[in-house]
Amino acid sequence: MSIQSSSADGVFTLEIARPEKKNALTAVMYQALADGLTAAQSDPSVRAVLLLGQPDIFTAGNDLEDFMLRPAQGTEAPVFNFMRALISCELPVLAAVTGAAIGIGTTLLLHCDLVYLADDARLQMPFVNLGLVPEFASSLLLPQRLGYAKASEKLLLGDPITPQEALASGLVSAVLPAADVVARARKEAARLVSLPRGAVRLSKQLLRAPLSAQVNEVIDRERVVFEERLRSPEAKEAFAAFFERRKPDFSKL
Q: What is the pLDDT of residue 56?
A: 96
Domain count for the chain: 1
Q: Is residue 202 part of a domain?
A: no
pTM comes to 0.97
Residues of the chain with pLDDT under 70: 1
Q: Is residue 158 part of a domain?
A: yes
Q: Is residue 10 part of a domain?
A: yes
Q: Is residue 186 part of a domain?
A: no
Q: Give the domain range for residue 95.
A: 3-177
H or E element, residue 122? strand 122-124
Q: Is residue 187 part of a domain?
A: no
Q: Is residue 222 part of a domain?
A: no
Q: Is residue 253 part of a domain?
A: no
Residues 6 or more apart from 154 whose CB is under 8 A from it?
124, 125, 142, 146, 160, 161
Instruction: List pLDDT tens digits, range 10-46.
Output: 999 999 999 999 999 999 999 999 999 999 999 999 9
Q: Is residue 122 part of a domain?
A: yes
Cα maximum dimension of the chain: 59
Instruction: List pLDDT tens digits, range 78-92.
Output: 999 999 999 999 999
Tell me the CATH number at 122: 3.90.226.10
Give the angle 173-124-180 at the CA atoms, nearest 5°: 40
